[in-house]
Structure 1
Amino acid sequence: MTVPVPAQKAGKPALSADAALGEVDNARSPLMAGFVGSMFLVIGSLGVGWLAPVSELRRLPLFIWMRTEGVGVSISIVLVAVGGMLLIRAWLRLGQRVRVWGLEARKATLRAIVAWGLPMAFTVPLFSRDVYAYIGQGRLMVEKINPYENGISALPNYFQLGADKMWTEAPVPYGQLFLWIEQFVVWVTNVQPEASIMLFRLVALVGVALCVVYIPKLAELHGVNPHRALWLTAANPLFLTNFIASIHNDSLMIGLALAGLYYCATRRVIRGILLVTLSISVKPITVVFLPFIGLLWAGKGASWPRRVLFWFLTAALSLGVLYAMSLFNGYGFGWIKGLSAPGSVAIWYAPTGLIGLIVASILNVFGVDGWGVAQWVYDAGKVLMVGAVGWLVFRGDYDRLIRRLTLAFAAIVVLSPMIQSWYVVWLLPLFAVTGIRNDWQVKAVYFVVAFFMIYGISDQLDVFPYLQSEDLGLALTLARNAAAIIALLFAVYLIFVDPKTKSLFRKRDLPGLRPII
């Protein structure tokens, strides 16, 4: 591993107290703009956020008006679309306000995380309803039904829980730790949806806190400015919406993984492996960290026999802990079967998914089973995925181990036929701590964040049961298209018209992001 840059050790830049006062030029304006955007999400979520059918909130007059009247639904759509994009503009403007990424920039970034993230803790779930699946899975655990063998359809009145129908028969793809969290939440709240949601949000906030603590620490190990890395990730609107507004368990997964990675990189390997193992027991995708941790443990210049030995020790320790946990709950490694669920669905903006969809569409025209061939395409993507991860494990410099891990994780995401916005948020911290340059790389981050915010705004609005229309499918399409158009027009404004932000998408020397000291 590279050592920290001396001027940045412990996050303290070599600046005088007087100079520090000028590090950030009036952060209040973007902070307030982002807070307004976050509040728009809170208010808009009352009308188009995801509510369980049994929710008591449906009986409140304000919710009734915002969810059943055309005016209320329309206002909610506009607020969510504008609020999400306003957060992106505030985030970009905060970066522009920074002259030097020092302690004042860190304070401004932490204020942004609180000011923008705290209101989201009180939204009706937005952009995803997976949290309702967590409630259903927790109910399975409470009722002693194996969640690795049964979907939530095994429960009476399961449809009242609010989960997406894809979970009715799907086995749970989560590890033992998260199953226990689900069980505890449902047991404490007695399946009360809003109380369960708030407890799951607390769990997500633990993950956010871990990211806030360990992203700067990992960045310093690579000589990367820790304060800029924190702004790129934890203050990022995509990070905040996915982990707080949407309540994805990926927050805890990546927070534990980053903490474990830090301890492994600083020679406290046992502690690090245990934390990464806990991450795996939330979502098993972080098992890809283990071979790279084995190399960290083996040390620089290790011979191949030594590397194999430490791979074995890493795997034995991690899998041993997972096995002990599986014995405790009696469900074993059933989550392995659930891992195939994401790979069975394709989406048009994933490279592998797009190729498969094109192949299927063309072959279907000629009477050939195009979807069968498309599955071959998805399988080929998986083979390439394994090959890319293997290459990065066996090839490359020791000092770039975490960057190699980052690229391996990125290969898993990019070569999957389905890419969700929270998959991107897995990658952002790892790329940020190993270095995102102020050129095409940071501009790519801006475009990706804008794209997935627009897609989330347009794809996940809970409106179709409430609009008064004979054709509910048409009503849903119109509502989501309206949200997409509003968000897209805002993005066009940011990129091509806004005199403050358009330069970020064009110039090589990006204002406000010049120093990485």
Structure 2
Amino acid sequence: MSEPDGPVRPVAAALARYAGLVGAVLLAVAGWLGGALPDAPLTTRLADVWRAPHGPGVLGCWLVGTVLLVGAWWSLRWGAPSARWAYLTAGLWLLPLLVAPPLGSRDVYSYVCQGWSWAHGADPYRVGVAAAGCPWTDAVSPIWRDTPAPYGPFFVLLAGLAVLAGGGLVGAVVLLRLVAVAGVLLAALCLPGLARACGVPTRRAAWLGLACPLVGVHLVAGAHNDAVGLGLVLFGLLVLVRRPGKTRALLVAGVLLGLAVAVKAVAVVVLPFAALAAVLGRYTWRALLRDGGWLAGAVLGTLVVTSLATGLGLGWVAGVGRSGDSQQWTSPPTAVGFVIDYAGTLLGRQPHAVPVVRGVALAVLLVLLVALWWWAWTALRRLNDVRQRVVRLAVARPRVTLTGAGLALAATVLLAPVFHPWYATWPLALLAVATLSPARTVWFVAPCAVAAVLVLPDGSNLARFSKAPGAILMTALVVAVAVAAVRAGLARRAR
């Protein structure tokens, strides 16, 4: 095994490259045999997967392919031989998944039907796709057929254009996958610049951010809109990192970040840290209001324009709250709520704790977001008084702001009412370019590796079939992390 940031042996690198390629091919085969095809029956029991046509082959290909792909990515978690090698290998792994049917989720059919609803005069923020009359509603997961769209107007516009240009379900899915690929390519273009600005080796940042199985399986094969949203966020941050304080750059970055929010609301979490990256020179409240104001104005203007241009207004804001209709233990707050309900049942009570715990988690999230921003702000302010300020700020500003944004996204993903594996790609990308110590990458690489095995090729989430044991294990993990955090805090205070 190579040492952190040390040379990678050619044999080990070649083995990882081709093991991952074999894994990607097996996943594509599993997709064609039993992926999330539009006419495939929805799985209600785990035994149904095994008994389905090609069931053993599907599970075998999926299991072996996932192990190979995750193992190959993990083996080079301290960095690929070079950035070029990382890009070529990640691209090689994406090729089989690019031609596979939708994998790991049926969300792309929801996108298509929401785009169809908008293109045919219905408001996807008021009615579900079934009520709108989408002809492909049967391909959508039942839980999302009657819920309004939780996505921003820019993405609804893209989905509507895909439906109009695609000429049918297959054509629309292909075009939305191309949109997702464009988002991944945009992220790939931004990763080296962001990593260099933070002093992080590009060979490591590119490998962690692009070769992660979540990118190939969910962003590309699954065609999730997280791809384009993340690409826009990284592009906006790169503009700010390269040209902070420049009015034109602030406006361009604001438009990019505004479009990202108009794709998926989670991008809002990045905005306060983007405002810090916008400041040029000394960090003062006046400078923050000046440069951050231009950025905020461009973000708000972009949201207003996209809302008015699509005729959708701000109805998507209310739709975001419906994403929590799904209850699975992969969300830590939901898991804790499950365990409290189980304990209450044993005592003859019905606590209905899930909504309460979710509410508490959102309150904790708000406190954490404010604390993370204040940490970043004070860390940057301290650099105002050091010697050689310009040199120090040039390196510290992007690292502090991107680390803060990455941690804020990680907190949002972990404390949100619902968690899906592809959500992890947001904090992964930012922490990959901002984490200087290779040893610390394990803290966010390991959860992504675990998340990669949570779903089956047809979109069935394994959490559905392991509700009680999964909730108990997740709750135990939450308690262990909380205890460790308290001990670490007490130890620091005692020093």
TM-score, length basis structure 2: 0.80
Cα distance per residue 1:413-455 (max 9 Å; x no partner): 121232211111111111111115333x333344323311221
Structure 2: how far apart are the matches of 1:200 and 1:178?
Answer: 10
Deviation at 1:232, TM superposition (A): 1.0
Q: For 1:136-147, what aligned pairs fall within 5 Å after superposition?
A: 136-147=113-124
Given that residues 135 and 182 in structure 1 are in contact (C-alpha distance below 8 angstroms), is that contact kept between their aligned partners in structure 2? yes
**Alignment partner, residue 428 of structure 2:** 428
Match of 2:105 among 113, 116, 128: 128
Indicate whether 1:238 and 2:219 are aligned.
no
Greater CA drift, 361-370 or 44-53: 361-370
The one-letter code sitting in structure 2 at the alignment partner of 1:116 is W
Indicate whether 1:83 and 2:65 are aligned.
yes
Count of aligned positions: 431
**Alignment partner, residue 146 of structure 2:** 169
C-alpha change, 1:185 and 1:230, in structure 2 (3 Å) is same
Match of 1:46 among 5, 15, 32: 32
**Alignment partner, residue 128 of structure 2:** 151
C-alpha change, 1:52 and 1:336, in structure 2 (3 Å) is same
C-alpha change, 1:207 and 1:459, in structure 2 (3 Å) is same
Deviation at 1:304, TM superposition (A): 2.1
Deviation at 1:108, TM superposition (A): 1.7
Match of 1:276 among 231, 253, 257: 257
Q: For 1:280-295, what aligned pairs fall within 5 Å after superposition?
A: 280-295=261-276
Q: For 1:186-197, what aligned pairs fall within 5 Å after superposition?
A: 186-190=163-167, 192-197=168-173
Cα distance per residue 1:344-374 (max 9 Å; x no partner): 4443233222221112222244454422x33
Given that residues 350 and 414 in structure 1 are in contact (C-alpha distance below 8 angstroms), is that contact kept between their aligned partners in structure 2? yes
**Alignment partner, residue 390 of structure 1:** 370
Given that residues 113 and 136 in structure 2 are in contact (C-alpha distance below 8 angstroms), is that contact kept between their aligned partners in structure 1? no
Indicate whether 1:202 and 2:182 are aligned.
no
Structure 2: how far apart are the matches of 1:53 and 1:356?
Answer: 35
Structure 2: how far apart are the matches of 1:389 and 1:69?
Answer: 46
2:56 match: secondary structure: helix
TM-score, length basis structure 1: 0.77
Deviation at 1:244, TM superposition (A): 1.1
Q: For 1:16-35, what aligned pairs fall within 5 Å after superposition?
A: 24-25=10-11, 27-35=13-21
The one-letter code sitting in structure 2 at the alignment partner of 1:409 is L
Cα distance per residue 1:395-417 (max 9 Å; x no partner): 33223122112222222112123
The one-letter code sitting in structure 2 at the alignment partner of 1:73 is G
Cα distance per residue 1:259-306 (max 9 Å; x no partner): 100101122322211111111111121022222222222334332244
1:31 match: secondary structure: helix
Given that residues 128 and 149 in structure 2 are in contact (C-alpha distance below 8 angstroms), is that contact kept between their aligned partners in structure 1? yes
Unaligned runs of 5+ in 2: 42-48, 244-248, 381-396, 471-495
Q: For 1:6-25, what aligned pairs fall within 5 Å after superposition?
A: 24-25=10-11
Structure 1: how far apart are the matches of 2:311 and 2:445?
Answer: 45
Structure 1: how far apart are the matches of 2:367 and 2:261?
Answer: 21
1:263 match: secondary structure: helix
**Alignment partner, residue 379 of structure 1:** 359
Greater CA drift, 388-397 or 177-186: 388-397
Greater CA drift, 123-132 or 286-295: 286-295
Unaligned runs of 5+ in 1: 1-12, 14-19, 56-66, 464-475, 485-517
Q: For 1:190-339, what aligned pairs fall within 5 Å after superposition?
A: 190=167, 192-267=168-243, 268-339=249-320
Q: For 1:471-510, what aligned pairs fall within 5 Å after superposition?
A: none
Structure 2: how far apart are the matches of 1:291 and 1:299?
Answer: 15
Given that residues 175 and 335 in structure 1 are in contact (C-alpha distance below 8 angstroms), is that contact kept between their aligned partners in structure 2? yes
Given that residues 35 and 458 in structure 2 are in contact (C-alpha distance below 8 angstroms), is that contact kept between their aligned partners in structure 1? no
Match of 1:351 among 313, 332, 336: 332
Deviation at 1:382, TM superposition (A): 0.6
Structure 1: how far apart are the matches of 2:325 and 2:276?
Answer: 32
Deviation at 1:324, TM superposition (A): 1.5
C-alpha change, 1:308 and 1:361, in structure 2 (3 Å) is farther
**Alignment partner, residue 54 of structure 2:** 72
Structure 2: how far apart are the matches of 1:207 and 1:229?
Answer: 17
Match of 1:180 among 137, 153, 157: 157
Given that residues 406 and 430 in structure 2 are in contact (C-alpha distance below 8 angstroms), is that contact kept between their aligned partners in structure 1? yes
